[in-house]
Structure 1
Amino acid sequence: MKFSYSLSKRFVFPNLAIQFLIIHSVSSLNITNEYLNHKCFLNQGIYNSGSEYEDSLNILFRKVRTDDYARTGFMHLTKGPASDSVTVMFQCRGDSYGSKCRTCADTAVAGFRKRCPRNKGGIIWYDQCFLWVSEIGESMSIKTNYKNIFSMYNPNNVRWGAKLFAKRAMDFFSELTLKVKKNTEAGSIIILYAAGEKKLGKNTLYAMVQCVSLTIDCKSCLAWSITKLFKNGDIREGGRVLGMNCDVRYEIYPFLRS
């Protein structure tokens, strides 16, 4: 059985064609690493070939692809002079670690180079990770960025008590949000991730919540995203909201590694 996912038109970025993500319902749990979305930060300009900015970016990209961050799946680095520095942030989904995380890092770096060539800044999302690049050495922990957020939904509507389904799903998300801060600290990086499953009648709901490790308002970001999932009257069998600070997802089939 296959599900076709589409981007919510309310969050389509300029020059971005609507993408479709094919997800396999998984008796075999065939986890994908599909491209989901990207945005090039045009206001940050472009860098010249052979420039110091390009050298710094190449060094950081090599670190993203080679450094050992298997325990946390997270990296945040800045390089270059204050007047022309580049900052790179990379994070894997909470269930993708070790070699799975590194594979997504390779894919994300290659995808960013292809879709935002010579752009000083941009962001690209894949099913199991995302990569953020900026010329601004800004702290990602100041506040949640609600501009670079998009949503994706299963095309199938819930046909069996949609309102009750939405209420119980939101209650379950609230439970997961409370568990996020209970996760253990790995080194100096706090892993802000929680996932689980809950029986809803004849179906099982699978869900996850995750924040970027530097986010100080994780709870607010998750609450906003969860509300966004169920804001419309047509409640779907699955959906997700992704951004720069947090993401949430639910399905009625398993989509995470145990």
Structure 2
Amino acid sequence: MASSKLFTVVLLALFLQTSFGANPLYHICSNTDNFTDQSPYESNLKILMNSLIYKTPSSGFGVGSVGQYQTQQAHGLALCRGDVSPSECKTCVSEATTEILSLCPHNKGAIIWYDNCMFKYLHTDFFGKIDNTNKFSLLNVQNVTDPSTFNYMVKDLLSLLSYKASMDTKFYAEGELKINGESDKIYGLTQCTRDLSSVDCKKCLDNAIGELPNCCDGKKGGRVVGGSCNIRYEIYSFVRE
């Protein structure tokens, strides 16, 4: 997508995050190639989008490529959060494909993230490669009272979940950790796109965990979200039962 690494820190309190509903968390448009109306690429892209709306909900993940000639091919990927239902997944992917065409008209590559899903497409094959270009973070602006201890526990939890996700067939893991033996807990989630290998999934997640000091040092909640994986922690339970 973009030629240089993009890391945008978006400052949001938790109550603002939860009020977004179905609105996108973030999106990035390619700044390289464009397509024209009624072109073969546009036709292939729309076929691809409809295919992924249909394919993704059953397992929460879908990939596809459409187009006979390389210069006209559209490659796409959709991923739903591991705890959402098939119906929620379908709704999210459907909204994502519609919204990204509105936000990035005529772009031959784009990516959009929601709470429940992400959708990415490009005119070149990107499957099986860690996306280190498209990335952003969200955080709770509230600070914890003991940042050093809290940061250590967050890293401990997410590192464990990074390993668990890389060993899981769906590349997804969630869990919790008591804070110093008290009733308070830290809740975490890790997830990768399933076109990656197990090794690259863990590498992607570990790199995301390494970004936390840059965005979320001593904060009560935060996430690092990318084109190949994402991590999140909060002091409240946010995963569906």
With normalisation by structure 1, the TM-score equals 0.82
Q: Counterpart in 2 of 1:39? A: 28
Indicate which of 195, 199, 208 corresponds to 1:214.
Answer: 195
Q: Counterpart in 1 of 2:17? A: 23
Q: Counterpart in 1 of 2:174? A: 195
Is the CA contact 2:12–2:139 (under 8 Å) kept in the aligned structure 1? no
Q: Counterpart in 2 of 1:4? A: none
Indicate the SS of the match to 1:57: helix
Kindly state the Cα deviation for residue 139 of structure 1 after the two structures are TM-superposed.
3.5
Kindly state the Cα deviation for residue 33 of structure 1 after the two structures are TM-superposed.
3.5
Kindly state the Cα deviation for residue 152 of structure 1 after the two structures are TM-superposed.
1.1
Amino acid in structure 2 at the alignment position of 1:197 = E
Q: Counterpart in 2 of 1:49? A: 37
Indicate which of 76, 79, 85 corresponds to 1:97.
Answer: 85
Q: Considering only aligned residues, what root-mean-square deviation do their CA atoms show, in Å?
A: 2.2
CA offsets 1:143-189 (integer angstroms, 9 cap, x no match): x2222111111100111x211111111111121122124424xxxxx
Q: Counterpart in 1 of 2:239? A: 256
Percentage of pairs with the same residue: 32
Distance 1:172 1:20 in 2: 22
Distance 2:11 2:44 in 1: 32
Distance 1:19 1:140 in 2: 31
Q: Counterpart in 2 of 1:74? A: 61
CA offsets 1:77-123 (integer angstroms, 9 cap, x no match): 11112222111111111112300100101110111011001111111
The equivalences for 1:83-162 within 5 A come to: 83-136=71-124, 138-142=125-129, 144-159=130-145, 161-162=146-147
Indicate the SS of the match to 1:107: helix
Count of equivalent residues: 229
The gaps in structure 2 that reach 5 residues or longer are 1-5
Which deviates more, 229-238 or 166-175?
229-238
Amino acid in structure 1 at the alignment position of 2:209 = I
Distance 2:162 2:176 in 1: 14
Distance 1:232 1:35 in 2: 20
Q: Counterpart in 2 of 1:240? A: 223
Is the CA contact 2:28–2:110 (under 8 Å) kept in the aligned structure 1? yes
The gaps in structure 1 that reach 5 residues or longer are 1-9, 25-29, 185-190
Kindly state the Cα deviation for residue 235 of structure 1 after the two structures are TM-superposed.
0.8
CA offsets 1:38-78 (integer angstroms, 9 cap, x no match): 111121x221111111111111111122x143342111111
Indicate which of 7, 30, 49 corresponds to 1:11.
Answer: 7
Q: Where in structure 1 do 4 or more consecutive aligned residues deviate above 4 Å?
A: 18-21
Is the CA contact 1:31–1:255 (under 8 Å) kept in the aligned structure 2? no
Indicate the SS of the match to 1:113: helix
Is the CA contact 1:60–1:88 (under 8 Å) kept in the aligned structure 2? yes
Distance 1:183 1:12 in 2: 29
Distance 1:40 1:233 in 2: 25
Distance 2:17 2:201 in 1: 27
Distance 2:218 2:236 in 1: 16
Distance 1:12 1:231 in 2: 11
